[in-house]
Structure 1
Amino acid sequence: MSSSFLPSSSRRRTAVAALAASALAVTLAACGSSSGDGSAMPGMPGMTTTSAMPSMGGMDGMGAMASGDGLAATSGGYTLASASATLPAGQASDYRFTITGPDGKPVTGFAVDQTKKLHFYAIRSDLTGFQHVHPTMAADGTWTAPLAALTAGTWRLFATFTPDSGSGRGTDFVLSRTVTVPGRPVDTALPAASTSTTVDGYTVTLTGELMAGMAHPLTVTITSDGKPVTDLEPYLDTYAHLTAFHQGDGAFAHLHPTTAVTGAHGGPTLSFHAELAESGNWRLFLQFQTAGTLHTAAITVHVS
C-alpha cells in the first residue's frame, strides 16, 4: 500500500490496543458476568459478527456475518429464491426472483434504502463484470432484475433489502445465489492493490487504514486533470456509492457514506464508514455521477 495508508507502526499500536481490549473483556466475563439471561446486543444493519461474538438465540437463528457477507441464500428465515440456475452468455437477460419470509410466502413490503426498496448486484467469480441494478417488483412479490450481457463463467447475484414488517423488520439483509453462464470461462487476474485508479478522465484516490473486522473511516478524493472535482451530483441519496467484494469467496460489503448531501455540487472529498470482515484483497467499485453520467471506478485494496 502507498504512504497514504498508515505506517506499520500505527497498525501495530492499533492491534495491541485491540488485544488489550479483548483481554479485558475476557477477564470481566470470567469474573461473574454470566447472568445467563440470554440477552444480546441487537444486530446492527450492515455490521457483522466475529468468532468472538457467537450467534445468539435471540437473533432468529442468524449465524455470524449472516447479514453482512451475503454468501448464503437464506438468513434469519428470509430466502432469495429463484428458478434460474443459468443465464445466457453475450446478451442482456432478466433474472427473476422472490424474497420469501419465515412463513415461506413472498415478501412485498420493504423499507426504502438510498431511494430503493432493493439493491441488486452481479459479480463474476474473478470479480469482473460488476453490475448494480434496481429491479422492479410485481404485485405478487416477484422481482425482475435487468442484467447487461454476461460472459461465460460463474456469477454471484446479491440482493440487499430491509423488510418493513414481520420478524425481520428493520434488519438489513444481504442474500445471494450463483448462476452459471455457459461457455468457456476466461478469468482475469485481479489488479494489484493500489490507492488510486482512473475512470473516464477522473482520478479516484483512497486514504485510510483498513483492518479486518474493524470499523475505520475511508476517504475518497476525486480529481480531474489534477484539479478537485466539485460537481458531483446526488446518486442514490449520496455523492458516491461504494461496494466491495472479497477475492476468493466473493463476500459482499457495502461501505456506508458519511458525507451529507447538501446540493448538486459535491466533492472532491467523500467519507465512508468501512468495515471489511476478512483480510486479503477486496475489489471496490465506486459509483459517482457528473453531468447526468454515471461513472464506475474499480480498485483493489488489501486489508490487513
Structure 2
Amino acid sequence: MQTGAKITAFAAALAATFGAAYGVGQGVDPVVADGRPASHDTHAEASSGASGAPSRADEGGGHAEHEPAREGRAAQAGGLQITEGGYTLDLRTRRIEAGRPADLRFTIRDGKGRAVTSYQREHDKELHLIVASRDLVTYRHLHPARAADGTWSIPVELPRAGGYRVFADFTPAKKGAENLTLGADLAASGPYEPKDLPTPARTAEVDGYQVELAGELRPGASGELELTVLRDARPVTDLEPYLGAYGHLVALRSGDLAYLHVHPHGEPGDGRTEPGPGISFTATAPSAGSYRLFLDFKHEGVVRTAAFTVRAGAGEHGEHGGSGDDGGSGTHGH
C-alpha cells in the first residue's frame, strides 16, 4: 500500500474509533453540577460483605487522625493514575448511554491481582466514588455497595454524552496503608456538546441557599478556604453532620482533572466546631491553573452541593455570583 493510502486508512480508522465512543444512543445520587434535583437517600450503603471495621469517629480519631497524610499528598494530587501504591482500579463499566440508567461496576485489586475486600472506614464509608465530566459541569459523589467478592456497584445515570472521570477514594485495611485516589475514564455515548468551564465566582446558589467563598487556593502552598452557608441571605447555624463533618470539599483541576479531597477544620461534637454558617478548610493546589470546587453540605435532612470555579496562582477569583446549569449547583440526594 502506498504511504498516502496508509495515512488515509489510518485517519479513517481513528475517526471511526472516536465516533463509536460517543455515537451510540441519544442525547442516585444526583447530578450536582447540572442543576437536576434528586430524592433523599439515594446512595447505596455497603453490603453485608463489608469488613465491619469501626469508623475513625467511633475510635475518637475523627479527621485529625489522617489529616497529615492527606496534606502530605495534596501537592501531588490524585486520580491521575489507574494504579498506585500497589493497588489498581479495575473499572468493569467503561461505557454507558447518556440519559439511561446503568450499573457502574468496578473492583479494587492488589499487587497480585486479587480483589480487595477489606477497607478502613473513613467519613462513615469504606469507599467514596466521584464521577465528573471532563468539562467539570456534571459532578456526583456516590457511595456504592460492595459484594462479598470485592465487586463494587451502584446505579448511575449521566445526563450528557462525553468523557467522564471516575475516582475511587479509599484506604485499604492493611496495616500502614495510606489513603489512595485512583482514576479511570468512562464514556457516555450520545450527541456530544462540550461546555465551557463555568466562570469564576465567589458565590454559588442552590435551592434557595447561597454559599459564599473566601480565601485563596494557592499552588504549592497551603491556603485557607472558608465557605459560608446562607438561606434567603440569613446565616445557616444548624448545619447537620454528613459523613462525619459539616461539609466535604472536593477540588478538581481543569484539564487533567487532578483530584484534591480536602477536609474541614474540626468535626461535629468536638466542642469547638460550630454547625455553621462557616465551614473552613486547608487545601494545597498542585499547580497554578483553574479548579472546580464542589462543597457538599446537609441541612434539614437534604444534602446539597455548591460548585465554584477558582484560579490558583495567576489570577484571583471572580467577583460575581454563579447559578443555574453553568453555575454548577444542585441538590444532592444522598
TM-score scaled by length of structure 1: 0.76
* 1:48 paired to 2:73: yes
Q: Does the CA contact (< 8 Å) of 1:283 and 1:300 recur in 2?
A: yes
Residues 153-173 of structure 1: per-residue CA shift (max 9 Å, x gap): 01110000001116xx43010
Once the two structures are superposed, the pairs formed by residues 220-259 of structure 1 within 5 Å of their partners are 220-259=227-266
Per the alignment, residue 277 of structure 1 pairs with 286
Partner residue in 1 for 2:322: none
Is 1:186 aligned to residue 211 of structure 2?
Answer: no
Quote how far apart the aligned CAs of 1:146 are: 2.5
Do residues 109 (structure 1) and 118 (structure 2) align? Answer: yes
Q: Distance in 2 between matches of 1:49 and 1:242?
A: 13
In structure 2, the residue matched to 1:75 is: 84
* Cα shift at 1:49: 7.2
How far apart are residue 275 of structure 1 and its match?
Answer: 1.5
Alignment partners' CA distance in 1, 2:297 and 2:69: 26
Whole-Å separation in 1 of the counterparts to 2:296 and 2:84: 28
Partner of 1:297: 306
Cα distance in 1 for residues equivalent to 2:71 and 2:125: 16
Q: From 159, 175, 180, give the equivalent of 1:173.
A: 180
Match of 1:286 among 288, 295, 312: 295
Q: What does 1:71-150 correspond to in 2, within 5 Å?
A: 71-150=80-159
Paired with 1:274 and 1:49, the residues of 2 have a C-alpha distance of: 7
Shift, 1:289, TM fit? 1.0
1:206 is aligned, of 201, 205, 213, to 213
The percent of aligned pairs where both chains have the same amino acid is 39
- Which residue in 2 is equivalent to 1:196? 203
The one-letter code matched in structure 2 to 1:112 is: R
- For 2:72 and 2:200, locate their aligned partners in 1 and report how far apart those are by CA, in whole Å: 24
User: Are the equivalent residues in 1 in contact too, given 2:226–2:279 (CA < 8 A)?
Assistant: yes
Map residues 3-42 of structure 1 onto 2, 5 A cutoff: none
Would the aligned equivalents of 1:242 and 1:284 in 2 still touch at CA under 8 Å? yes
CA contact (8 A) 1:244 1:284 kept: yes
Structure 1 150/46 Cα, relative in aligned 2: closer, same or farther at 3 Å? farther
Letter aligned with residue 78 of structure 2: D
- Supply the distance in 2 between the matched residues of 1:49 and 1:233 (Cα, whole angstroms): 27
Tell which deviates more after alignment, 114-123 or 211-220.
211-220
CA contact (8 A) 1:88 1:150 kept: no
1:267 Cα deviation after fit: 0.4
Does the 8 Å CA contact 2:97/2:190 hold for their aligned counterparts?
no
Matches of 1:280 and 1:96, distance apart in 2: 32
Alpha-carbon distance between aligned partners in 1 of 2:100 and 2:74, rounded to the nearest angstrom: 39
Secondary structure of residue in 2 paired with 1:190: coil
- Look up the equivalent residue of 2:214 and give its one-letter code: T
Equivalent residue letter for 1:242: L
**How far did residue 265 of structure 1 move?**
7.5
The CA distance in 1 between the partners of 2:214 and 2:168, in whole Å, is 29
Contact 1:131 1:147 in 2 (8 A): no
SS in 2 for 1:45: helix
**Following TM superposition, by how much is the alpha carbon of 1:236 offset from its aligned partner in structure 2, in angstroms?**
0.6
**In structure 2, distance between residues paired with 1:284 and 1:49:** 15
SS of 1:179's equivalent in the other structure is: strand
Taking structure 2 as the reference length, the TM-score comes to 0.69
User: How many angstroms apart in 2 are the aligned matches of 1:84 and 1:210?
Assistant: 34
Residue identity in the other structure for 1:258: H
CA contact (8 A) 1:45 1:172 kept: yes
Q: CA RMSD in A?
A: 1.9
Q: CA deviation at 1:149?
A: 3.1
Between the two proteins, the alignment pairs up a number of residues equal to: 244
Residue 47 of structure 1: CA displacement?
Answer: 3.1
Which structure 1 segments of 5+ residues have no match?
1-42, 51-64
Structure 2, gaps ≥5 residues long: 1-67, 314-334
Q: Distance in 1 between matches of 2:149 and 2:269?
A: 37
User: Could you tell me how far apart the structure 1 residues matched to 2:107 and 2:312 are?
Assistant: 34
